[in-house]
Amino acid sequence: MSFTSPAMAADAPLESSSSAVSWGPIIAGTLTATAISLIFLLIGSGFGLTMVSPWSHDSASLTAVGATAAIWLIVVQWVSAGLGGYLTGRLRTKWVGVHTYEVFFRDTAHGFLAWALATVLVASVLGSALSAIVSTGTQATATAVGAVGAAGAATAASAGDSNSGFAPAYFTDALLRPANTAPTAGNQSDEAVSAQVTRVLMNGIVDGKLSADDQAYVEQVVASRAGLSATDAKARVDAVLKRIDDTKLAAQEAADTARKAASAVALVGALSLFVGAFIASVAAAIGGRQRDEDEERMALLGR
């Protein structure tokens, strides 16, 4: 059984009553990183607007815009995290009587805390923009896939009951459709015939294709109204239907491209945050070590 003498107890190191966290340098580094992030994001927004034009041939592709946004997020994160972390380590007070390894750990922890606080501030300021980036792909996919169907439903609704999302006008046309379309179509006005054909096409767009009866009806109307032969009318209808399918396919491909671009931007943004945390921690350790070395050098010169 061992006993501790009063002298040994007096020489034993006591636990410091002050916290190892220096919030002053952390807040200074946070404000620096936040300000730099906002400045760079505004600059990036300015450059991004130059890539978008109301003229389709002057706008950059969605892939190019997404890649540029991802690269810019990495640049913003690295520069802001590096400068914020360095100032955090450089501005903290010197810890006396602390082991070198503990000083290194505290500096890296201070840099990480400054990065985390700055990230929270930037996310709170730009929360709507960040959520828009994450949800762009999902919204674009849902919008593009349902755009044609929604347009068809809206057109049918406007042609029938404007207060309801469902219009039975197409089915009414199918019930009252005469066996011989040419004489009947010739007695109707252009607006009435156009409305009927529009409802038929919209129903085909929603269903994915025209039924055999609907296509035969449209071909007869086209032949009667345009003065074409049955063969030429069928060729014209087939060409229009192909254009509709190509438009739907292009919309789906654009939606898929938007989804992939948004996913890539989100993943690269998350990766840049991890790297930013590492850079802030290392920069704080470098700044703290340089501060300690400068103080030791000044102390030696002052002797």
pLDDT tens, position by position, 154-200 = 444 444 444 444 445 665 566 555 656 555 555 566 677 778 788 88
pLDDT top residue among 268 and 173: 268
pLDDT for residue 45: 74
pLDDT for residue 171: 58
User: Would you say residue 7 has pLDDT above 80?
Assistant: no
Evaluate whether 204 touches 210 at the Cβ level (below 8 Å): yes
Q: What is the pLDDT of residues 58-82, one digit of tens each?
A: 555 656 766 777 788 788 888 999 9
pLDDT for residue 85: 93
**Half-sphere exposure of residue 110, counting CA atoms within 13 Å on the CB side?**
33
Residue 223: strand, helix, or coil: helix
Find the mean pLDDT for residues 213-223.
83
pLDDT for residue 58: 54
pLDDT for residue 263: 81
pLDDT for residue 108: 92
What DSSP string describes 141-153? HHHHHHHHHHHHH
Evaluate whether 197 touches 218 at the Cβ level (below 8 Å): yes
Q: How far apart are CA 115 and CA 43, in angstroms?
A: 21
User: Would you say residue 88 has pLDDT above 70?
Assistant: yes
pLDDT for residue 196: 79
Residue listed under structure tokens 């636990």: 15
> By percentage, how much of the chain surpasses pLDDT 70?
65
Q: How far apart are CA 40 and CA 79, in angstroms?
A: 9
**What confidence tier does 218 reach under pLDDT thresholds 50, 70, 90?**
confident
Q: How far apart are CA 180 and CA 217, in angstroms?
A: 9
User: Would you say residue 104 has pLDDT above 50?
Assistant: yes
User: Would you say residue 32 has pLDDT above 70?
Assistant: yes
**What confidence tier does 150 reach under pLDDT thresholds 50, 70, 90?**
very low
What are the boundaries of each domain within the chain? 24-144+257-302, 145-251
**What confidence tier does 227 reach under pLDDT thresholds 50, 70, 90?**
confident
pLDDT for residue 8: 45
CB atoms within 10 A of CB 75: 14
Report angle CA 22, 24, 28 to the nearest 5 degrees.
Answer: 125
Token pair, residue 294, equals: 């400068």
Find the mean pLDDT for residues 95-123.
87
pLDDT for residue 132: 56
Q: How far apart are CA 9 and CA 103, in angstroms?
A: 26
Q: Burial-class residue 10 by CB neighbours within 10 Å (0-12, 13-18, 19+).
A: exposed
**Half-sphere exposure of residue 14, counting CA atoms within 13 Å on the CB side?**
6
Distance of CA 287 to the CA centre of its chain: 35
User: Would you say residue 116 has pLDDT above 80?
Assistant: yes
Q: How far apart are CA 287 and CA 28, in angstroms?
A: 13
Find the mean pLDDT for residues 3-11.
48
Q: How far apart are CA 40 and CA 37, in angstroms?
A: 5
Residue 164: strand, helix, or coil: coil
pLDDT for residue 217: 82
Report angle CA 291, 296, 300 to the nearest 5 degrees.
Answer: 150
Give every CB contact of residue 263 below 8 A, 6+ residues apart in sequence: 137
Q: Which of 143, 165, 142, 164 is nearest to 153 (CA)?
A: 165
**What confidence tier does 282 reach under pLDDT thresholds 50, 70, 90?**
very high
Positive or negative, the Cα torsion across 19, 21, 25, 27?
negative
Q: How far apart are CA 297 and CA 19, in angstroms?
A: 27
Q: Burial-class residue 11 by CB neighbours within 10 Å (0-12, 13-18, 19+).
A: exposed
